[in-house]
Structure 1
């Protein structure tokens, strides 16, 4: 197995503006590999360090038409830290979100482009993840989808039930991937998706073939001629296998 979960990709109306919000929110650095793309990296890490986690913002037409099926959850170290972080995020332009959560210890917000995310209360499991505790993907069957992702990528399964599955890199570093059961699973394109990196990168075609054998399918999100390959997992969540540009 030679695939690593390295980053999430946001479809944006304005990649630079959205990138500035998230860079200030996370305390990360900003760069750009070209027009319409903003890259965020944690300070002190060099991409694709498995202990780090990365975000790409890419400007696309009409990002509002795609589904919020994946979201970020942010870690905090104490109740005071959680309150301070929520207040600072609101000052940066985040707004409260009602996702039907009721009385819960975490706070739901949206970024300036309407992407929902959560600021979690302190949890021991996330004490060493950095600011992004987990990337959460909605699904109908966490157990089945965990089997796919556990075989597809260099991830170790930490928890699994009928309601959720929690995976993390085999090195035990970085953010978690959580597969969370929901009754409202749609099949439209996602606004936030995962990017996978083969290592070595020249193994991309072999890795794509292996993923298809595991149940991944080809996906067309209007990508055209690009060095990466767009696939979907067995529940229709798009992801990209990166290649050499």
Structure 2
């Protein structure tokens, strides 16, 4: 019974987290426990527990006597978080270049190829999920569990915004080309180059920051269509 409840709780958390990531639940939107309970055919208790879990991840803000809302990030906070994200991922790539095994290389190439297929299909939603898997292969390739967990947690926090970036014109193609450079550096065992390329790939600045800011109203309004 305990295992069942744990699995149900994880499934519920992942489902609501995904709704936030794809914009079905927009930043600043009130999260009505009764509506969510009806949607997922559960009581309000597991919904409340799930919202507490999501609050601990920074995806939800729980306000005393006013309920929960989807967390919002301002421009300054976004830049700060992407700055940290770029450093964490750069470290993962540097360590992956030194520590990945031949089996890890196979997984990396498979994830890279899956991203290429999504790119060629001109499907930013599919690319979003393949891209996520690609990055996780590199996190795991660092063979540092603490770094893996911290990097993945921050990635989750930024998922709605990273997904929105992929809707900017030509960003999917540019993203894959950047991946290609990172993959080549990792396979060559060049940690410094892998680190540098990954940092540049993740960091938002200049025109990329301007594009993201211009796209934010889509996310705030909840107009990003969920992937199917």
TM-score w.r.t. the length of structure 1 is 0.24
Answer 1 or 2: which has greater strand percent: 1
Q: More relative contact order in 1 or in 2 (CA 8 Å, sep 6+)?
A: 2
TM-score w.r.t. the length of structure 2 is 0.26
Higher gyration radius (CA): 2
